[in-house]
Structure 1
Amino acid sequence: MDAISPEREERRRRQKELADQLKASGAMDEIFAKIDAGEPLTGEHGMLGGMLKAALERGLDAELTEHVGYDRGDAEASLYPNSRNGSTPKTVSTEIGDIELAVPRDRNGSFTPMLVPKGQRRLDGLDGMIISLYAGGMTIRDIQHHLANTIGTELSHETISKITDQVADEVLAWQTRPLESLYPVIYLDAIIVKIRDGGHVRNKAAHIAVGVDMDGIKHVLGIWVQATEGAKFWASVCAELANRGVRDVLIVCCDGLTGFPEAIAATWPEATVQTCVVHLIRAAMRFVNYKDRKAVAAALKPIYQAANEDTALEALEEFSASELGKRYPSAVKSFQDAWDKFTPFLAFPPELRRVIYTTNAIESLNYQLRKITKNRGHFPNDAAAVKLLWLAICDIEDKRAREREKERGLPASKRKASGRLIEGNVTTNWKQALEQLALAYPERINPYL
């Protein structure tokens, strides 16, 4: 039998104990009878709605009792300076549907309930549900339809939009949080999103940076939607990272980006900009016939697995002169065009090459994000795109954490939950890679060891 985590076991024990107490007291007998008679639990006429209404109104009445100083029906009520003054109807939206409340009021108008504050039209749990649905990729109209169909709650498009906007301050705090002084490696990749720009919708690149700190732990450093082309945009991104505390970067691994190397050189002059080798291979294979793909892939290996730049150049010339190279000159040209940004990779030892070989770590994240954004028509602005991507990253990591928590205590052979996607993930073979970095950049990395 599968092992159960201590926390889950304790939760089960408490819930069973409470259920047994309720059954033994007879308090649930009438409810069980109604369920047996076919009365619904949820929805507009569900019993849970009635129970929640009763509980909230009882709590509000207790708050008013404390405020005015006497219980309902007290014979000496007239002796108190303030008094009860009937109730006001109020509808609140909850996770189980809309609840019609009778909110008590006082004669002086000084009563301010805490359980359901003035102006609040939703219980906190519903806000959390809406934000979770939004982070999972549902549009505001999808959420509106889902709530109406499942729990009978009718919320306007504007209300749901305001709820999701509540996280804007959290996004801003995350996007401006202080960073480490040194990131040995930073990966940069992009996901294409549709954003309204003036009177039309156009594709924009949302760039995501993942930094590896001195402990080999990966962190999403930020998300930037490219508003302008080239060096100006990248200069602003680099300046932002520097202002948040990044004093040095050893290696930046990315696909070819216009103006990016110049921005890096201006901010961190000693940083190495490295083209993602996997991106380079994909570009070389773009126009290769399916039947020749395996042969071309095998022929390219000696280039990116070469011991040094001279050996790699010989391998490229050999491929160029071969039958496959002549058949697919575009594959040769891909390597030739990226040669200056590809060759720094060849100067690193195998342990370090495995770390910077690819931006797959961030590509796997982008794959998950594309599944969430693909069903959306477009975003109204850049900030909305950043907000959803941030929420989606948090949601993905939270779901994985819950899956791992369920399997805590199980032997490794029986664990099926996925590990961390990016945030907090530890880079494979980091100790060996860090050792090589310390040998290659001793004066820059030793102060942080």
Structure 2
Amino acid sequence: MGSAAPGVVDEQLIRGLTERARAEGLQLTGEGGLLGRLTKLVTEAALEGELDDHLGYAKHDPAGRNGSNSRNGKRSKTVLTEAGPVEIAVPRDRDGSFEPKLVAKRQRRLSGIDDLVISLSAKGLTHGEICAHLAEIYGTQVSKQTISTITDRVMDGMAEWQNRPLDRVYPVVFIDCINVKIRDGQVANRPIYIALAVTVDGTRDILGLWAGEHGDGEGAKYWLRVLTEIKNRGVNDVCIVVCDGLKGLPDAVTTVWPPAIVQTCIVHLLRNSFRYASRKDWATIAKDLKPIYTAPTEQAALDLFADFSDKWEARYPAIVRLWTNAWAEFVPFLAFDTEIRTIICTTNAIESINARIRRAVNARGHFPNDQAALKCVYLAIMSLDPTGKGRKRWTNRWKAALNAFDITFDGRLSATKN
């Protein structure tokens, strides 16, 4: 009788197993289920194959007689799999030199469950919620410490990501801040800074994450270290650095990238204005501020700001003072082409990232240290692009913006483009 094609054999084998399982009343998943049994059979067969390769001969092969090493029984081991806990028999050799690859010594989980835990953590589930999910779906108990150990695996990947080479030039780099709660003696807010760039191709690129310093905050020395790190990774030039009144950052930008312009984030400036106003006045204030940041020239903006001050200073002097103090970093915006202004004010990409990060951060409440908080933020960022292959577009009108950037900044983008 001729042999059947591999695909047919596989299909017949699977059908036979499922029919037998149904006849015996065997469940597909759960403890003792069909998937668990299949996992056990496949894993044990793979381990036997590894031992064959290690010894140089198969089981019962005469070539192994009177050899220097041989099989030496098996040891039982329970591993956590996506089909639930599975007890497997791991073969041993006489001189103890066999090191399994599929299920390494002291390994208690198959790799798939690690990937699942990391994925759930990236989506903002707490360690307790992940434990409950695994217990409900796979019928197994996993400690919070085990979950933490699994997610710690991402730190090597984070270090590699944080040190990867970057583009030689970026039209815009946004430096934003997410506040997290760190339990260092007592729970206190600590900033984590995110550098988000718009590339020459019109896509977003998250350059890295940095924990804020302890004490009174970050100054020029801190920002010089951060920006120098970015420059050392290949960034020779940045046209515009957008931030929200970060102390010492403008001086550091001037030192690292002398031609770069430091621009106050218009969106943050507007949000900070609303903090000082009653909610019932927000719409009117927003309407009165819009002509200022859309003015065609600085002089026109000054005239409009004078009108705004006359109207609102008596009621909200803090808003007028906020804009007055930020004016030097706000003014560059007024000299830009409309296309460039649109890029700077487009916040959808920033907001989608911040929303994912805040969801993950808020789910955990507080962190034991900076490293744990950075791990959480990194996982949230990676969940936005699990494959790591695609950069999302910043805007659909990028060609017009690129031409405006190249003209405004004297061809710096085209001259240094990779």
TM-score norm. by structure 1 comes to 0.82
Mapping for residues 144-159 of structure 1, pairs under 5 Å: 144-159=131-146
Deviates most, 146-155 or 214-223: 146-155
Are 2:333 and 1:335 aligned? no
- Which residue of the partner structure matches residue 283 of structure 1? 272
Q: CA deviation at 1:186?
A: 0.6
**1:305 maps to which residue?**
294
Q: Where in structure 2 are the equivalents of 1:120-199 lying within 5 Å?
A: 120-197=107-184, 199=185
Distance 1:354 1:18, change over 3 A: farther
Match of 2:336 in 1: 348
User: 1:219 Cα deviation (Å)?
Assistant: 0.3
2:194 aligned with 1:204: no
* Cα deviation digits, residues 137-175 of structure 1 (max 9, x gap): 223333233323332333344333222111211111111
Tell me which amino acid in the other structure corresponds to 2:23: A
Deviation at 1:274, TM superposition (A): 0.7
CA–CA distance in 1 between the matches of 2:59 and 2:206?
Answer: 55
Once the two structures are superposed, residues 56-99 of structure 1 have per-residue CA deviations (whole angstroms, 9 ceiling, x without a partner) of: 22333344455363534x78975555443321111211112211
**Maintained 8 Å contact 1:355/1:428:** no
Matched, 1:264 2:265: no
**How far apart, in 2, do the equivalents of 1:205 and 1:129 lie?**
29
- Cα separation, partners in 2 of 1:110 and 1:288, compared to 1, 3 Å: closer
Report Cα offsets for 1:309-338 as digits up to 9, x if no partner: 11011111112223x454333332222121
Contact map agreement 2:57 2:63 (CA 8 A) in 1 = no
| Displacement of 1:41 | 2.4
Unaligned runs of 5+ in 2: 1-6
User: What SS does the corresponding residue of 1:109 show, helix, strand or coil?
Assistant: coil
CA contact (8 A) 2:170 2:413 kept: no
Residue 442 of structure 1: SS of its match in structure 2? Answer: coil
| Structure-1 residue corresponding to 2:349 | 361
Q: Check conservation: 1:175, 1:221, Cα contact below 8 A.
A: yes
Q: Report whether the alignment pairs 1:381 with 2:349.
A: no
Q: Residue 366 of structure 1 aligns to a residue in which SS?
A: helix
Q: Which deviates further from its counterpart, 391-400 or 176-185?
A: 391-400
Q: Which residue of 1 aligns with 2:408?
A: 440
Q: 1:342 to 1:82 in 2, by over 3 A?
A: closer
Distance 1:45 1:428, change over 3 A: same
TM (normalized to structure 2)?
Answer: 0.88
1:121 CA drift (Å): 1.9
- Per-residue CA distance 1:378-429 (angstroms, 9 max, x = gap): 222222222221221111223999xxxxxxxxxxxxxxxxxx8xx4424342
CA, structure 1 residues 21+208, in 2 after alignment: closer, same or farther (shift >3 Å)? same
**What is the alpha-carbon distance in structure 2 between the residues aligned to residue 267 and residue 70 of structure 1?**
63
In structure 2, what is the equivalent of residue 46 of structure 1?
33
Distance change >3 Å, CA 106–CA 294, structure 1 → 2: closer
Amino acid of the residue matched to residue 28 of structure 1?
T
Counterparts of 1:77 and 1:232, CA distance in 2 = 67
Match of 2:283 in 1: 294
Shift of the 83–399 alpha-carbon distance from structure 1 to 2, 3 Å rule, reads closer
Measure, in 2, the Cα distance between the counterparts of 1:178 and 1:382. Answer: 24
Cα distance change on mapping 1:315 and 1:192 into 2, 3 Å: same
CA distance in 2, matches of 1:133, 1:385: 16
User: For 1:185-225, what per-residue CA distance to the aligned partner results, in whole angstroms no more than 9, with x for missing partners?
Assistant: 1111111111233x222111111111122222210001111
Q: Is this contact kept in 1: 2:30–2:84, CA < 8 A?
A: yes
CA contact (8 A) 2:360 2:376 kept: no
Which amino acid is 1:435 matched to? N
Which consecutive unaligned segments of at least 5 residues does structure 1 have? Answer: 1-15, 402-419
Structure-2 separation of matches of 1:86 and 1:17:
35
Change (3 A) 1:115 1:333: closer
Equivalent of residue 213 in structure 1, options 181, 196, 199: 199
Deviation digits for residues 90-148 of structure 1 (CA, Å, limit 9, x no counterpart) = 12111122111122223343434343233322111111111112212223333233323
Aligned residue pairs total 407
Amino acid in the other structure paired with 2:48: D
CA–CA distance in 1 between the matches of 2:36 and 2:365? 35
SS at match of 2:301: helix
User: Structure 1 352/160 Cα, relative in aligned 2: closer, same or farther at 3 Å?
Assistant: same
CA distance, structure 1, for counterparts of residue 58 and residue 284 of structure 2: 88
Q: 1:238 to 1:26 in 2, by over 3 A?
A: closer
Contact in 1 for aligned 2:36/2:83 (Cα 8 Å): yes
What is the alpha-carbon root mean square deviation over aligned residues?
2.7
Task: Identify if the C-alpha distance between structure 1 residues 125 and 347 changes in structure 2 by more than 3 Å, giving closer, same or farther.
Answer: same
Match of 1:149, SS? Answer: helix
Residue 392 of structure 1 corresponds to which residue in structure 2? Answer: 380
The separation in 2 between residues aligned to 1:439 and 1:81, in whole angstroms, is 76
Distance 1:317 1:80 in 2: 95
For 2:294, the aligned partner's letter is Q
